[in-house]
């Protein structure tokens, strides 16, 4: 029996935090705006609007550098309660269309609408209606990608940003994927993209000329994923209840920590914060405890141990072991746990890409 063709929608709100800020404060509209920490406190940009992006401002950029690029940039601190409230409104809209919702963040999710009868069964019309409802109800815009699998849907949602959507029909996958830059594939970051380029691989068509064995030889296990992705193949199913693999907290300090004593003095506060978050994950069983250190030169290291009931002394001990690895001041400390693996999640079934269907 042939499985029904999957219809996957990827919804991604446009510059979410900044959009909520502009919604609530009209004077922020039309000017370069970013949400993040203060420049004099080693702040980092969480997100920014499109006016700021024209100057080269990007997420994860230091606020100091962002202001250098855009001196008149308005930077506001994040207000997560408001963002969570907006996220809950968006999630409620998703739930009107399907139970198969896989959140990726507060403002981004996959929806599997295979077999849904709403909007005449058209995933394209559902995506359009969802976006309209988000704008009317929440007061911000969102973009969408519609495709036969998660890989292509996520790529498609970025195609007509902001406030747009893009459809990749099953019969269009082959033509679309051959012209796609290899750097757009899932899991390909800056380092991997540079390595691909050195090997002469710029597009997915270039990658299709490489055998599976050659890709695995150059990229290890990730080579198998590259082999599939460059052909538009992605067997991952939308996973509404995918479990958390770890839980940690970390903090970047206004001033570098220069002694072991000063580093150890920060652990109790981090531990208290971590304990509060652990109470919300009571069903998970810790397996390993770890500490993370980022030094003044931005290099970092972690130290971990098997421990099912870590306490304050566990993390203090790990920190003492890790600190001597480098004679550098410390700019960031983190601590947390990795959870026990439970029964493996079932593998998604690769469905036929070329079956006709109403998208």
DSSP state for residue 60 in the 8-state scheme? T
pLDDT score, position 351: 31
| Positions marked catalytic | 108
Model confidence at 2, in pLDDT bands (50, 70, 90)? very low
The answer on whether 107 is annotated among ligand-binding residues is yes
Provide the domain limits for residue 149. Answer: 8-14+81-169
Range in 21-35, 159-173, 202-216, 330-344 with the lowest mean pLDDT: 330-344
Q: What is the CATH number of the domain that holds 223?
A: 1.10.150.20
Whether residue 359 lies inside any domain: the answer is no
Q: pLDDT value at position 213?
A: 95
Q: What is the pLDDT of residue 345?
A: 37
User: Does the residue 358 lie in any domain?
Assistant: no
**How would residue 355 be classed by pLDDT, with cut points 50, 70 and 90?**
very low
Calculate what percentage of the chain has a pLDDT beyond 70.
92
CATH number, domain containing residue 87: 3.30.70.270
pLDDT tens per residue, range 265-292:
999 999 988 887 787 665 578 889 999 9
Q: Which of 29, 62, 79 is the last residue before a domain boundary?
A: 79
Q: Judging by beta carbons within 10 Å of its beta carbon (0-12, 13-18, 19+), is residue 347 exposed, middle or buried?
A: exposed
Gap between the Cα atoms of 107 and 82, Å rounded: 12
Asked if residue 66 belongs to a domain, the reply is: yes
Residue 224 domain-assigned (yes or no)? yes
DSSP assignment of 117-178, as one string?
-GGGG-HHHHHHHHHHHHHHHTS--EEEEEESSHHHHHHHHTTT-SS-EEE--GGGHHHHHH
Q: Quick check: pTM over 0.75?
A: no
240: Cβ contacts below 8 Å, ≥ 6 apart: 99, 100, 101, 102
Residue 174 backbone phi and psi in degrees, to 5: -60, -50
Count: domains in the chain = 4
**What is the spatial distance between Cα 344 and Cα 338, in angstroms, rounded to a whole number?**
16
Residue 95 to residue 208: CA distance in whole angstroms: 38
Residue 48, in any domain of the structure? yes
Is 12 known to sit in a ligand binding site?
yes
Q: What is the CATH number of the domain that holds 311?
A: 3.30.1490.100
Smallest CA-to-CA distance from 238 within 115, 92, 102, 141 is with 102
- The answer to whether residues 96 and 143 belong to one domain is yes
């Amino acid at each position: 029996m042939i499985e029904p063709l999957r219809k996957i929608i990827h919804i991604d709100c446009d510059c979410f935090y900044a959009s909520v800020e502009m919604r609530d404060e009209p004077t922020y509209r039309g000017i370069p705006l970013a949400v993040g920490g203060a420049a004099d406190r080693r702040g980092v940009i969480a997100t920014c609007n499109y006016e700021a992006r024209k100057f080269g401002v990007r997420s994860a950029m230091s606020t100091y550098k962002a202001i250098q690029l855009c001196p008149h940039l308005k930077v506001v601190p994040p207000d997560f309660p408001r963002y969570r409230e907006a996220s809950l409104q968006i999630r409620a809209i998703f739930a009107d269309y399907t139970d198969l919702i896989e959140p990726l963040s507060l403002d981004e999710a996959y929806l599997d609408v295979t077999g849904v009868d709403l909007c005449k069964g058209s995933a394209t019309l559902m995506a359009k209606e969802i976006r309209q409802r988000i704008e009317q109800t929440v007061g911000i815009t969102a973009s969408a990608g519609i495709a036969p699998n998660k890989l292509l849907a996520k790529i498609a949602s970025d195609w007509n940003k902001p406030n747009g959507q893009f459809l990749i029909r099953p019969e269009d996958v082959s033509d679309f994927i051959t012209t796609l830059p290899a750097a757009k594939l899932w899991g390909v970051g800056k380092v991997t993209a540079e390595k691909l380029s050195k090997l002469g691989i710029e597009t997915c068509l270039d990658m299709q000329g490489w055998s599976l064995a050659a890709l695995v030889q150059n990229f290890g296990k990730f080579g198998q994923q590259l082999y599939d992705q460059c052909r538009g193949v992605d067997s991952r199913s939308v996973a509404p209840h995918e479990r958390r693999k770890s839980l940690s907290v970390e903090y970047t300090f206004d001033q570098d920590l220069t002694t072991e004593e000063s580093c150890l003095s920060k652990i109790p506060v981090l531990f208290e914060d971590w304990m509060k978050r652990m109470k919300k994950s009571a069903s998970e069983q810790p397996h390993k405890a770890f500490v993370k250190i980022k030094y003044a030169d931005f290099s970092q290291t972690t130290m971990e141990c098997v421990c099912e009931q870590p306490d304050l002394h566990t993390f203090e001990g790990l920190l003492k072991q890790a600190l001597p690895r480098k004679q550098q001041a410390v700019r960031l400390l983190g601590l947390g746990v990795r959870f026990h693996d439970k029964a493996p999640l079932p593998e998604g079934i690769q469905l036929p890409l070329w079956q006709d269907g109403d998208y």
